[in-house]
Chains A and B, each alone.
Chain A
């Protein structure tokens, strides 16, 4: 059972290596390394960067992240439900109907409140 997951683990390690390997091989062995102040400054169309770029950002990005968590959890609930729907039949359908209904009410509310508006 668990040994089926060993190849996955090995593949993950190889995947990381495919990322790390070339960066160090290409970046440090083959390529030149001649830093200077202008080259290492952040790109801003040729101007000097005039303030820190870790600036305030729009609250809507935060809102999207919050909504994402709610919906993603919803999907996590739907996955096992969808698989066994054949066995749980009508009861499962009604139970998930109530659950999905509550979520849809929340979705309609946030829609009407304008949380999904980007002007």
Chain B
């Protein structure tokens, strides 16, 4: 055990704490273990985005900022960006509602991070496995819209206000399609616990929910892109019309928090999509003959990270490929395409499920 390497005085010090404090300290330790890699990934996802889109547009992307005189392909860029934003003034506009103005960024980052409390990274490797896991995630991702609306309203600026209205209506419309897609997953797995949902997809890639629920899979991921206000659904911050949208009045660290929240949400949506439709940490080759006895057949964190990275890449790919939707097209896609598609597929799935045919034949 590791215990032997810990000096005696540390154990004495540890035992000196009451049991309740010890539990909280252990929880805090685990949270730090989740949060630090997460925040680091958020920082480097911004770098990856610039590199990937740069490559797609035959540019180089950031390649100057390195460490101690070495360029290292520009790997120092996110850190330099953060430091720069820290040194910039946080401007509080005179007409703004100051308290709400500063609350808004906090309201958008807190749920994007706190949702990770129930995400399982490997079999039994989650901060906490609660039975209402998916409900909790859905609730927290819904809170994100408050950050946008409050930011837009509290800024008391016309661009911010317009953007908040657009973003609010858009997020809310796509959330319905997202919710319906989740119902399909729940029906297939029979559980709200994210760990159980993944285990229900065991047995190689042919058992992943992505196949029987293919329409819901696409609807969920595309709604996820719309929820995070990413291109091609980024009318909320469409530069050419409303400058920067709801965060036009934000500067320095207050802006950086919005930026972090957007990328944390991208990672979260990617993680949820891979958990619910692509079997999370499960290996795609669990029963394949060639993989038996090698690491390829085992469940591991690496599969999960790989799947998340793939979806994050798709986010960048969409941004580099598609022009921005018009607002009426966005609303039409949400209300007139996604919602009917999900309702129809739910009915089809429920009938097949009760009749025990197709993928649900027991």
Known contacts A11-B113, A19-B257; decide if A42 and B332 are in contact (CB<8 Å). no
Q: Is B296 interfacial (CB-CB < 8 Å)? A: no
Q: How far in angstroms is the closest Cβ of chain A from B231?
A: 20
Q: Is A65 interfacial (CB-CB < 8 Å)? A: yes
| Residue from A14, A39, A93 within 8 A of B31 (CB atoms) | A14
Q: How far apart sit A61 and B94, CA to CA, in the bound complex (Å)?
A: 28
Interface segment among B5-13, B62-70, B124-132, B276-284: the answer is B124-132
Q: How far apart sit A111 and B351, CA to CA, in the bound complex (Å)?
A: 26
| Residue from A16, A26, A45, A100 within 8 A of B343 (CB atoms) | A100
Does A90 lie within 8 Å of B243, measured CB to CB?
no
| Residue from A5, A16, A34, A64 within 8 A of B106 (CB atoms) | A16
Does A5 lie within 8 Å of B192, measured CB to CB?
no
Does A42 lie within 8 Å of B158, measured CB to CB?
yes
Within 8 A of A (CB), among B341-362: 343, 346-347, 350-351, 353-354
| Residue from B88, B117, B169, B327 within 8 A of A31 (CB atoms) | B88
Does B252 lie within 8 Å of A27, measured CB to CB?
yes
Does A12 lie within 8 Å of B249, measured CB to CB?
no
Cβ contacts A40-62/B at 8 Å (1 or 0 each): 11111100010011110110110
Q: How far apart sit A8 and B85, CA to CA, in the bound complex (Å)?
A: 30
| Residue from A7, A89, A100 within 8 A of B128 (CB atoms) | A7
Residues in B with CB closer than 8 Å to A65 are 168-169, 172
| Residue from A10, A42, A44, A117 within 8 A of B27 (CB atoms) | A10
Kindly report which residue of chain A lies nearest to residue B34, judged by CB atoms. Answer: A11
- Interface size for B (C-beta < 8 A) is 87
Residues in A with CB closer than 8 Å to B159 are 43-44
Q: How far apart sit A25 and B252, CA to CA, in the bound complex (Å)?
A: 11
Q: Is the interface of B mostly helix, strand, loop or mixed?
A: helix
Does B161 lie within 8 Å of A11, measured CB to CB?
no
Does A54 lie within 8 Å of B176, measured CB to CB?
no
Which residue numbers of B lie inside 8 Å of A, CB to CB?
23-24, 27-28, 30-31, 35, 39, 85-96, 102, 105-114, 116-118, 127-130, 135-136, 153, 155-161, 165, 168-169, 172-173, 175-176, 179-180, 182-184, 186-187, 190-192, 243, 248-249, 252-254, 256-257, 327-328, 331-332, 335-336, 339, 343, 346-347, 350-351, 353-354
Question: 15 new A-B pairs (CB below 8 Å) besides A11-B116, A43-B249?
Answer: A10-B31, A12-B117, A14-B31, A15-B114, A19-B107, A43-B243, A49-B157, A53-B156, A53-B157, A78-B180, A79-B183, A83-B190, A90-B354, A96-B350, A97-B347
Q: Can you list 25 pairs linking A and B with CB atoms under 8 Å apart?
A: A8-B136, A12-B114, A14-B28, A23-B257, A25-B253, A26-B86, A27-B252, A27-B254, A37-B94, A40-B94, A41-B94, A42-B155, A49-B95, A53-B160, A54-B156, A61-B168, A64-B172, A64-B173, A68-B176, A71-B339, A79-B192, A83-B191, A85-B353, A111-B336, A116-B332
